[in-house]
Structure 1
Amino acid sequence: MSTHLRRITAIAAAGTLTLALAACGGEGAGSSSTPSPADTGADNGGDDGGTAAPGDGDDSTAGGGAAPAEDMTVGVAMPTQTSERWIADGNSVKEGLEEAGYTVDLQFANDDIPTQSNQIDQMITNGADALIIAAIDGTALSTQLDAAASAGIPVISYDRLIRDSENVDFYVTFDNYNVGVQQATSLLVGLGVLDESGEETGEEGPFNIELFAGSLDDNNAHFFWDGAMDTLQPYMDSGVLEVPSGQTTIQQAATLRWQQETAQRRMEDLLTSSYGGGSEQLDGVLSPYDGLSRGIITALQNAGYGQTIEDGLPVVSGQDAEIASVKLINDDVQYATIFKDTRLLAEQAIISVQAYLQDQEPEANDTETYDNGVKVVPSYLLESEIIYKDNIVSSLVDSGYWTQDEVDSGVSGK
């Protein structure tokens, strides 16, 4: 169990104990069929012998007959509604928890740290039985986590690791170092240095590239950067890749709050200072998020680099498979993105919180990597995939993540 006390009188099973037991028995998110985008994937039941759907089955309880799921509340704190990704995450978690019988308090903080802190304070005051938190600033919630621990409330850190507190019980995320490797790999493929299988082609360049990173207060940004730079550095050392601006540290490349406008302004400044305002060759840009990618692409198009890759637009990477960027990839404007199936992430968060509310430990598949500065947080990592134009249909459309109409329009119909 977690080191802080659990409120045993508030611990109960969801309608089906088997879902959480599946997690403890070695099956995490994605162990059965992929759910629809609006679904968390927690409802994997049916007649196929799979896990029973939350809320189905008998009403037996754990924890000595404590309150049932319908008498319990889970607070869900998401960072912003300015990104379609976070809207989808919040809705998926909420819907899956409600299907399991829980009351859900879902709050978005509009990328404002005090707002998120106040929202979590209010969740605790209102008697939340568990918290799922995607932090804006992973170092800014110590007071709230102390209060949660004092009240016996388990805390699931969602996608972004909460730092500098012992009161983080579990972490659900993707293999973020590998996401960075994939971002860099997609850039190298786009430049022709690697083929899509990851094999070197013998292309020696040199290619001019620029580097962008995420927000320094987001722990994931550092994992993305480390994975990407470990992949790119050998080619920078050998001269295959060059960075004319000389801005090769994460501090120089960082983009506060992952803002598209900030990335666009920095790209414009780089073009002015290092590329003659667009008259000199730029071949590629490492971008760690689709929103940044769109800002970068706008700056490049405005500077006269062409409207598509075919007519001279540099290769730009991305992340999150946002529908606006998927359309750009389909239209040969953005080169690639990284698909992190957040339906499975939401599912794993639900599995994990149910385990705690049933006085059990969720399954971790990584107990070494994610040190938050105070403790190594037990974690469940999911895998991601590079999306190029030629696998949009097989990976995104056929899985039900986006429809072909959404890919064609660049607008989500959800």
Structure 2
Amino acid sequence: MKFRKFLAAGAGAAVAISLAACSGGGAGSSTEESASGGAGGGAAEGGTVGVAMPTETSERWIADGDAVKAGLEEAGFEVDLQYAADDIPTQQQQIDNMITNGVKALIVASIDGTTLSGQLEAAAAAGIPIIAYDRLINETENVDFYVSFDNFEVGVQQATSLLVGLGVLDAEGNETGDEGPYNIELFAGSPDDNNAGFFFNGAMSVLQPYLDSGVLVVPSGQTDFDTVATLRWLQETAQKRMEDILTSTYVGTDKKVDGVLSPYDGLSRGILTALEQTGGYPVAIADGMPIVTGQDAEIASVKLIADGTQFATIFKDTRKLADQSVTAAISYLNGEEPEANNTTDYDNGVKVVPSYLLESDIVYADNIQSLLVDSGYWTEEEVASGQAS
């Protein structure tokens, strides 16, 4: 994908700018300081940073891995980047090997945020700082920093986009006076991903008043997180559950689905397939396809939004996430504390992990150009084809 080429050339420059802008608790006062190694050993000494990503089945994790690797290499580090194929023992072994091989720092996007305690204890004993990347690592004191988006707000945005699509809210987020009722179904992410709960809770903070008032109805009755969660964020799992809901609750009745809260584009595509094939809904929203939300601005779903099939997605610019994780790693390797903008909300069960949270945006058909194309995240050709180049 073309924006990765931009990252390879620009991530190091972005890190250098952020380093030059920080002082005191930031990532160093100058690029020369960051290159000099500092207290923790830095780029001039060489050294390797371990980057553990969960899977290559989602294009966003491939992009994240590429971006983090490019930024670290531009800053002068070698990088051990590993993908674990959504297999917990594989990720445990990969991190064990990184520690054994003497990495200077670890950046970890966990598969299951509760399964790495042994690895992180070994890393801490070796003096290796641990940065949780986008997914909080739970039930351990041995996580030093968390870089992510405001995940509760992401859920708020998902629910907001659903209400906009239904017509309950206008484009500015104001109530229209439409009282429905609208039939919706709820999906959540993987229960072993700490973010999934934040997404769902954020969404329900918006939707619950409308459920209480009767503007929204969930005909299947499936509303609690444990019931609507989708293990490993698998598209086929979401598709099967949507098919089951349709056949048990809608097919053969006069009920119709008006909207579906989906927390991730991969799930959205499975849900849309089920709605079309099992529910008999037309492909286009204009013709009666239910409003379906999403997250991650995956190119296949961006095309579906442009084509009028999926209604919205949430854009989390992972270039910024990668830059911030690189900045945090360099801070630690310079013997400094990374800058945090949240020190209260991310309790992993043992400690409140200092965090840096980034902002996200709702993508609709009418702002694909301004948010995704003009920023260089996707090109017009990629949006038109639905494929990364």
State TM-score, norm by structure 2: 0.93
Cα distance in 1 for partners of 2:339, 2:20 equals: 18
SS at match of 1:43: helix
For 1:313, the equivalent position in structure 2 comes to 289
> Is it true that 1:347 corresponds to 2:323 in the alignment?
yes
What is the one-letter code of the residue matched to 1:181? Answer: V
Q: CA deviation at 1:37?
A: 5.1
Deviation, structure 1 residue 36? 3.5
Contact persistence 1:44–1:50 (CA under 8 A): no
Per the alignment, do residues 68 and 203 of structure 1 end up closer, same or farther by CA in structure 2, a change over 3 Å counting?
Answer: closer
Query: Does the alignment pair 1:242 with 2:212?
Result: no
CA contact (8 A) 1:138 1:218 kept: yes
Please state if 1:211 is matched with 2:186: yes
2:11 touches 2:70 (CA, 8 Å); kept in 1?
Answer: no
Answer yes or no: is 1:41 the counterpart of 2:7.
no
Secondary structure, counterpart of 2:154 in structure 1 = helix
Report runs of 4+ in structure 1 exceeding 6 Å deviation.
Answer: none
User: In the alignment, what sits opposite 1:258?
Assistant: 233
Q: How many angstroms apart in 1 are the aligned matches of 2:75 and 2:252?
A: 56
Q: Secondary structure at the match of 2:51?
A: strand
Letter matched to residue 224 of structure 1: F
Compare the two structures and name the one with the higher helix fraction. 2
The partner residue of 1:384 within 352, 360, 378 is: 360
Partner amino acid for 1:219?
N
Deviations 1:60-91 (A, max 9, x none): 44229x56445211000000000000000000
What is the one-letter code of the residue matched to 1:98?
E
Shift of 1:41: 3.3
Deviations, residues 298-338 of structure 1 (Å, cap 9, x unaligned): 00011211111011110000000000000000000000000
Q: How many residues are matched?
A: 377
Residue identity matched to 2:373: V
Give ranges in structure 1 of 5+ residues lacking alignment: 1-34
1:360 is the counterpart of 2:336 = yes
Map of 1:334 onto structure 2: 310
Partner of 1:22: none
Letter aligned with residue 384 of structure 1: S
Identity %: 66
Q: What CA RMSD, in Å, does the superposition of the two structures yield over aligned residues?
A: 2.2
2:262 touches 2:268 (CA, 8 Å); kept in 1?
yes
Question: For 1:375, which of 351, 366, 370 is the aligned residue?
Answer: 351
Matches within 5 A, 1:392-403: 392-403=368-379
1:223-238 equivalences under 5 Å are: 223-238=198-213
Within 1, Cα distance between the matches of 2:110 and 2:246? 33
CA contact (8 A) 2:181 2:217 kept: yes
Partner of 1:82: 57
Return the match for 2:108 from 122, 133, 149. 133
State how far apart, in whole Å, the 2-side matches of 1:277 and 1:340 are. Answer: 39
Aligned with 2:329: secondary structure? Answer: helix
Code of the residue aligned with 1:125 in structure 2: it is T
Structure 2 counterpart SS, 1:395: helix
Change over 3 Å in CA distance of 1:153–1:265 after alignment to 2: same
Residue equivalent to 2:151: 176
Instruction: State the AA in 2 paired with 1:364.
Output: A
Indicate yes or no: 2:33 matched with 1:63.
no
**Structure 1 residues 400 and 277 mapped into 2: Cα distance closer, same or farther (>3 Å)?**
farther
8 Å contact kept, 1:158–1:172: yes
- Residue 383 of structure 2 corresponds to 407
The separation in 2 between residues aligned to 1:74 and 1:276, in whole angstroms, is 53
